[in-house]
Structure 1
Amino acid sequence: MTGQLSFPRQHARTQRFTLGAPRGFTVSPDGSRVVFLRSRGGTDRANVLWVLDLDTGREYPAADPAVLLGGATEELSPEERARRERSREGSAGVVGYAVDGAAEWAAFALSGRLYVSELRSGTTRELDVPGPVADPRPSPDGLRVAYVTDGALRVVEADGSGDRVLAGPENATTTWGLAEFVAAEEMDRSRGFWWSPEGDALLAARVDDAPVSRWWIADPANPADAPAEVAYPAAGTPNAEVSLALLRLDGSRTDIAWDRERYPYLARVHWSAGGPPLLLVQARDQRSQVYLTVDTASGATSVLHADEDPKWLELFAGVPAWTPDGRLVRIADEGGARVVVVGDRALTGPQLHVQALLDVAEGELLVAASAGPEAEEPETGEIHVYRVSELGIERISEGLGRHSAVRSGAVTVLASASLDRPGTEVRVLRDGKQTAVVGSCADTPVLTARVRLTRAGARRIPCAVLLPTGYRDGDGPLPVLMDPYGGPHGPRVVAAHNAHLTSQWFADQGFAVVVADGRGTPHTSPDWEKAVHEDFAGATLDDQVEAVRALAGSYPLDLGRVAVRGWSYGGYLAALAVLRRPDVFHAAIAGAPVTDWRLYDTHYTERYLGLPEERPEVYDRNSLVTDDGLSQAAEQARPLMIIHGLADDNVVAAHTLRLSSALLAAGRPHEVLPLSGVTHMTPQEQVAENLLLLQVDFLKRSLGLG
């Protein structure tokens, strides 16, 4: 049935072909089991918790939401909806889980209720606790489960007895055990409590968002509904106050002390058997940060290492961490390269651009990395998995593509996406040899992306070019559609088939589609990423111009008909393109664009542009709506469609409304498409499908195509 669908409907119904694909892997320390999430089909939103027995090859469900809920509709609390929006989670059922130290037990929340699964037997039961439950996590010894409800951090015995509060909110603006908005949205820290290795205490974040400005997000389509109150820390305004305490199971509490005035951001917390608790805290301008160790008896902290950067310091997945013999593992920008450091020694050099730490074992690390600034033959859009030690570096992933891994002991789960096949292949390796494959239930796309990865211009900008299916040399030049994201942390030029499906569909409507990852996107070096410091509007737009002009010498691009589309940062870039460079770009679709960076959040915006009260000219120069921003817009008007979800609490609809007002005041025609009830994700099937169709119609009208 799915094969009969149009691509827009299939793309929407399958949530971009993510439904049915396995994810969220855990390997048991004894190497006998792999635990993961996967729905039963390519259009089934409800994830099931699965176990793969590596000794027998048997795969079985440990927790099926359809069985546990008895067919009832899943109910989500406002807090859980917000958590899923921060993580861009569009599926249902078991969307996340946590295991004990031996991976014998798993805990998860479903419809606001707490469940525990015995993973060897595949049996699951509900624990009768107050709800709605958020982020349940077993203790390492498997004897207890900690969880959050109504802003309180609670703990319950694994048999359901002895439920109690460890720390409760003092008032309506305080929570314990949850990540604040900017941590979840921008720091990739989605949790707010951490068990001790012995399971006798927890480190817990206390968040008070009383200082944070209140915004109100209304649904104009339903004027009888009260607006939703959102605590939103816009650039230059106060953040939530975040502190940390050690909570012991005997009820005692020790507050953790560090210079929170100088380092207000709690970016990372790590607690393992390799050493005392580790904290990574950042200054508000993110140009300095310190790694702290915690004295669990007194709550005092000591500086283990300090970093400084004249532009900003990045945060990375997996670090900081301890090696088993007690050395600090971190990722750092040193000597023009991004390297992994153990103790005081860098174990990688400029041949690699390290992206994340995947695992720490005795004598070696597992990292994900792309080609670095001094790689001999840098592959475009690839990420590989490497084994790193003091003896050298060994690549364990094979073939052109993007690879990631989860490892415990001798067992590695290696997930690989490539250009020549849809989806992701997941293989289980033991001592480097394949022992199992984790199957996917994801749908096969009804079209095939025909991607040509290349580099363009003097800067060697990573690009992907897609032509219509069946296009032949001699068919003549094609109207061009630039399809970028273009901003930090958002690579679009990747060696993975499914990432280019929508671009291929647009190409099949009669366009030559160009995706260009200019400066600011994560590719080969810190210098490339940090070239956008204080200069979103210049560097990212300049590189789109350079890329399309350079590629016209090798591909059939009609530079007299060039359009651009994008979402979020890509929406900002699209609007910027037709306002500042109408000589190059002839039409644009801007989805959920950031138009005034003063309206975006603190941790992201101030990292790149500084504080607005200290650098107002930087904000004006990069804005689309200020007098300075509009004065840089050329007089020649180009067709512009702006799309925005009115329920968006990340890039709020005020961005689009202010841009529309400014354009109207300047006499510049444009179109606005408001989406009632839609957030930043646009997960609704009909909305996602029709958005693609409406965009093609606008582009053809704007470029004068039949």
Structure 2
Amino acid sequence: MKFPNILLAFILAATSVLSAQKKEVSLEEIWTGTFQENRLQSLQSLNNGEEYVVLNRDRQAGTSSIEVFSYKTGKKTRTLLSSSELKGINAFSDFKFSEDETKILLSTEVEPIYRRSSREIFYVYDLRSKELKKVSDDKIQEASFSPDASKVAYVYNNNIYFLNLKNGERTQVTKDGETNKIINGVTDWVYEEEFSFVKAFAWNPTGEKIAFLRFDETEVPEFSMDLYGKGLYPTQEVFKYPKAGEANSKVSLHIYDLEQQSSEEIDLGAKYDSADNAGEMDPEAIGDFYIPRIKWTKDPMLLSVQRMNRPQNNLDLIFVNAEDNVAEVILNETDKAYIDITDNLTFLKDNSFIWTSEKDGYNHIYHYAENGKLKNQVTSGKWEVTNYYGYDSKSDRIYYQSTENGSVNRDVYSIKPNGKDKKRLTTGTGMNSPSFSADFTYFINSFTNVDTPHVYTLHRSKYGKLVREILNNNELIEKVSAYEFSPKELSTININGNDLNMWTIKPSDFDESKEYPMLMFQYSGPGSQSVSNSYFSTNDYWYQLLADKGYIVVCVDGRGTGFKGADFKKVTYKELGKYEVEDQIAAARLLGERSYIDADRIGIWGWSYGGFMSSNAILKGNDVFSMAIAVAPVTSWRFYDTVYTERYMRTPQENASGYDENSPLNHVEKLKGDYLIIHGGGDDNVHVQNTMRMVEELIQANKQFDWAIYPDKNHGIYGGNTRLHLYNMMTDFILEKL
């Protein structure tokens, strides 16, 4: 049939208008930052509480500066320091003030080690004399001012040193440091990864003592990775990595006396056994234990130490008197499953302290006297304190964040230590996250929900009164409007007797009378949360791309995830991969009963713990899931580290069935659908060993599958075009197989 030219022109014009109305998102746009949100730079409050500083980088000039802004007006008041005025430094990547803000430590030439650790060249800049001093010609770790800013302590080659800034004398505190054997003052791999800290030394408030941890990792087994690079021969990275049930570093606490120029190991008293009765004390036990936190109290000669048994269900708060080095247990907590370590410990002027605990079934704030006697449970209720921001002595108020407005939301509150006069300081329903000024006069709130990218506003802390808006993402809202993205719908789904949080992204032209394939995403690790009232992450734009191609994307937070009480979170204890997988399978089955979902085309994907889950889901739920993608998955918890794994599983020697019955390695014969497994060859966290073992088991079971290894890439699998390539691969797999 031939159309008249006018009619043809009309059809073409109409098609052009329709295509202009809705843009289709591309992977290139997603991974080149097209939808990147404006974020407020990480800021640091000055002691005066009226100003804050930010690090400004001029990428064109290759310089950096520290800029000072007024909280009240938001206007820049001055430039504190610019690298363009410094001889010998082109730029600095980070900075730290001394306590009196007269000196600044400048970080340059940063060389990453693991997730949180790095080696750097440090300089000290004196704001009064305008003098610049290099701390060491070598790259060092964790440089830190003494309280009076007269010295800088640091770690080099696993030993602690300090530099006297007045006379230039350098003192070596420890001398036995040795790679893969003895570490002083910084943590070993597993402490860094699982207890989330690197700096393992602390000046006392008067600068007379340095408390530090020493790690003897002689007996910890070594792990090696081949890194291929571009040379003729690959290199090998060898480091100590304690896998579940294997030897940990032997950790000890020491206090160095600057006047005596000597260290003493602190006897922390009776050690623990590993019995099931919550880690009962055993004076005769050799003591396999952790020291996950040290912190000086308001008394300059009193050090607080948190010590935990290896099963992580018995925690002591110990006070060490640094004058005679005598230790005393002040507080003890036990749990039938495990105790999470936090930084929620604040000492008040009278040396009473604020502490958080799940002991009543939900994470709440407690106030204890210096002797460990409970003064008051500050917060209570069937909701969680999710962040503790500190105590303001001037107003006698504690500031915290919680889920009082629902587990997918966060609000900010203040309350008296006696638990009275609680005030809600934020109003928007969604995720509220504050940054307080040093004296708690102001806070800058970051707010987001499913409809709103981050908005930053300034508030007075007393009542939460809005002072002004600082930054919004209206330009991003305008930009994404051209794509007509589908909303992220929040809801709940009742699975195995629990109302589980869920989000759903549907095609923009969704028609309930049609059938759509469904892709599920989850992470599901203990205490995690993937369903929250927050705006699109980078992956959400990918889900919009998939929705444009006719897929429904769903995420369900099953049992074992966080912010719904200790029982909900700890139900997976000793059986990782059982209840979480049951919930994903049941959710997929229930959703598959909906008329608009094609029950024969349900897929699941995840990364890390989520890869462990997606692998188990397609095996144990082979009648529900027809496709799965696993990125950097754990395939047996026997391959993972002691601290994380044993917290939730105990050791393989104690709980062999828990490890093996829920390992994907032992269910490969059940594979029926399409399975893609992906790993970084240089992953120091979840070793590529996990994927290699899974691949071998699948081969021996004569199961067909797809797989890819990204050479030398770590757990994040990024760098250059790596992420774009990865998501192209996963998209093609989904389009072809689901």
Query: Would you say same fold, with TM above 0.5?
Result: yes
2:406 & 2:131 partners in 1: Cα distance?
Answer: 45
Question: Match of 1:81?
Answer: none
Whether the 8 Å contact between 2:215 and 2:249 is mirrored in structure 1 is: yes
Of residues 446, 458, 465, the one that matches 1:427 is 458
Instruction: Tell me: CA distance 1:340–1:200, structure 2 relative to 1, closer, same or farther (3 Å).
Output: same
Question: Match of 1:603?
Answer: 643
Whether the 8 Å contact between 1:115 and 1:124 is mirrored in structure 2 is: no
2:692 is equivalent to residue 653 of structure 1: no
Instruction: Tell me: CA distance 1:47–1:513, structure 2 relative to 1, closer, same or farther (3 Å).
Output: farther
Instruction: Tell me: CA distance 1:131–1:444, structure 2 relative to 1, closer, same or farther (3 Å).
Output: farther
Question: Match of 1:533?
Answer: 573
Shift of 1:504: 3.1
Whether the 8 Å contact between 2:245 and 2:652 is mirrored in structure 1 is: yes
1:428 & 1:99 partners in 2: Cα distance?
Answer: 25
Q: What does 1:19-168 align with in structure 2 at a 5 Å threshold? A: 21-37=39-55, 49-54=66-71, 57-59=74-76, 94=93, 97-111=95-109, 112-116=120-124, 125-158=132-165, 161-168=168-175
Question: Match of 2:492?
Answer: 455
Instruction: Tell me: CA distance 1:63–1:159, structure 2 relative to 1, closer, same or farther (3 Å).
Output: farther
Question: Match of 1:696?
Answer: 731
Count of aligned pairs: 664
SS at match of 2:498: coil
2:188 is equivalent to residue 180 of structure 1: yes
Shift of 1:354: 1.4
Of residues 479, 488, 494, the one that matches 2:532 is 494
Question: Match of 1:77?
Answer: none
Whether the 8 Å contact between 2:31 and 2:723 is mirrored in structure 1 is: yes
Of residues 326, 335, 346, the one that matches 1:321 is 346
Whether the 8 Å contact between 1:463 and 1:517 is mirrored in structure 2 is: yes
Q: Deviations over 1:292-321 (max 9, x none)?
A: 0111112221101101111111122x3233
Of residues 397, 413, 417, the one that matches 2:426 is 397
2:383 is equivalent to residue 369 of structure 1: no
2:332 & 2:486 partners in 1: Cα distance?
Answer: 45
Question: Match of 2:114?
Answer: none
Q: Deviations over 1:19-63 (max 9, x none)?
A: x7335433223213223456669x999986543243664436656
Question: Match of 2:717?
Answer: 682
Whether the 8 Å contact between 2:25 and 2:544 is mirrored in structure 1 is: no
Whether the 8 Å contact between 2:25 and 2:545 is mirrored in structure 1 is: no
Instruction: Tell me: CA distance 1:675–1:634, structure 2 relative to 1, closer, same or farther (3 Å).
Output: same
Instruction: Tell me: CA distance 1:71–1:438, structure 2 relative to 1, closer, same or farther (3 Å).
Output: farther
Instruction: Tell me: CA distance 1:449–1:242, structure 2 relative to 1, closer, same or farther (3 Å).
Output: farther
Shift of 1:536: 1.8
Question: Match of 1:226?
Answer: 235
Deviates more, 1:429-438 or 1:213-222: 429-438
Shift of 1:16: 8.8
SS at match of 1:605: helix
Question: Match of 2:117?
Answer: none
SS at match of 1:218: strand
Shift of 1:323: 2.2
Question: Match of 2:409?
Answer: 382
- Taking structure 1 as the reference length, the TM-score comes to 0.86
Deviates more, 1:360-369 or 1:5-14: 5-14
Q: Deviations over 1:245-279 (max 9, x none)?
A: 22233323232221454462111122242672211
2:735 & 2:225 partners in 1: Cα distance?
Answer: 34
Q: Deviations over 1:566-587 (max 9, x none)?
A: 1000011111111110111110
Whether the 8 Å contact between 1:39 and 1:441 is mirrored in structure 2 is: no
Of residues 249, 253, 277, the one that matches 2:303 is 277
SS at match of 1:210: coil
Q: What does 1:509-524 align with in structure 2 at a 5 Å threshold? A: 509-524=549-564
Of residues 662, 682, 691, the one that matches 2:697 is 662
Q: In terms of Rg, which structure is larger?
A: 2
2:452 is equivalent to residue 415 of structure 1: no
Whether the 8 Å contact between 1:293 and 1:304 is mirrored in structure 2 is: yes
Shift of 1:622: 2.0
1:216 & 1:443 partners in 2: Cα distance?
Answer: 47
Whether the 8 Å contact between 1:564 and 1:585 is mirrored in structure 2 is: yes
Q: Which amino acid aligns with 1:180?
A: D
Shift of 1:144: 2.6
1:56 & 1:159 partners in 2: Cα distance?
Answer: 39
Whether the 8 Å contact between 2:159 and 2:183 is mirrored in structure 1 is: yes
Deviates more, 1:222-231 or 1:203-212: 222-231
SS at match of 1:487: coil
Whether the 8 Å contact between 1:417 and 1:425 is mirrored in structure 2 is: no
2:547 & 2:541 partners in 1: Cα distance?
Answer: 10
2:395 is equivalent to residue 352 of structure 1: no
Whether the 8 Å contact between 2:69 and 2:75 is mirrored in structure 1 is: yes
Gaps of 5+ in 2: 1-22, 110-119, 272-285, 369-373
2:315 & 2:521 partners in 1: Cα distance?
Answer: 36
Question: Match of 1:312?
Answer: 338
Instruction: Tell me: CA distance 1:539–1:277, structure 2 relative to 1, closer, same or farther (3 Å).
Output: same
Shift of 1:370: 1.8
Instruction: Tell me: CA distance 1:611–1:304, structure 2 relative to 1, closer, same or farther (3 Å).
Output: same
SS at match of 1:579: helix
2:514 is equivalent to residue 476 of structure 1: yes
1:247 & 1:52 partners in 2: Cα distance?
Answer: 39
Q: Which amino acid aligns with 2:326?
A: A
Q: What does 1:628-643 align with in structure 2 at a 5 Å threshold? A: 629-630=666-667, 635-643=670-678
Q: Which amino acid aligns with 1:459?
A: N
1:33 & 1:306 partners in 2: Cα distance?
Answer: 40
Shift of 1:442: 12
2:562 & 2:378 partners in 1: Cα distance?
Answer: 21
Shift of 1:186: 0.9
Whether the 8 Å contact between 1:449 and 1:498 is mirrored in structure 2 is: no
Of residues 606, 614, 632, the one that matches 2:654 is 614
2:472 & 2:87 partners in 1: Cα distance?
Answer: 24
Q: Which amino acid aligns with 2:433?
A: S
2:474 & 2:227 partners in 1: Cα distance?
Answer: 34
Q: Which amino acid aligns with 2:385?
A: V
1:47 & 1:207 partners in 2: Cα distance?
Answer: 37
Question: Match of 2:8?
Answer: none
Question: Match of 2:7?
Answer: none
Whether the 8 Å contact between 2:425 and 2:461 is mirrored in structure 1 is: no
Instruction: Tell me: CA distance 1:471–1:5, structure 2 relative to 1, closer, same or farther (3 Å).
Output: closer
Shift of 1:412: 2.5
Shift of 1:134: 1.7
Q: Which amino acid aligns with 2:487?
A: R
SS at match of 2:453: coil
* Seq. identity, %: 22
Instruction: Tell me: CA distance 1:414–1:254, structure 2 relative to 1, closer, same or farther (3 Å).
Output: farther
Instruction: Tell me: CA distance 1:327–1:652, structure 2 relative to 1, closer, same or farther (3 Å).
Output: same
Question: Match of 1:671?
Answer: 706
Whether the 8 Å contact between 1:582 and 1:634 is mirrored in structure 2 is: no
Shift of 1:180: 1.8
SS at match of 2:659: helix
1:48 & 1:424 partners in 2: Cα distance?
Answer: 25
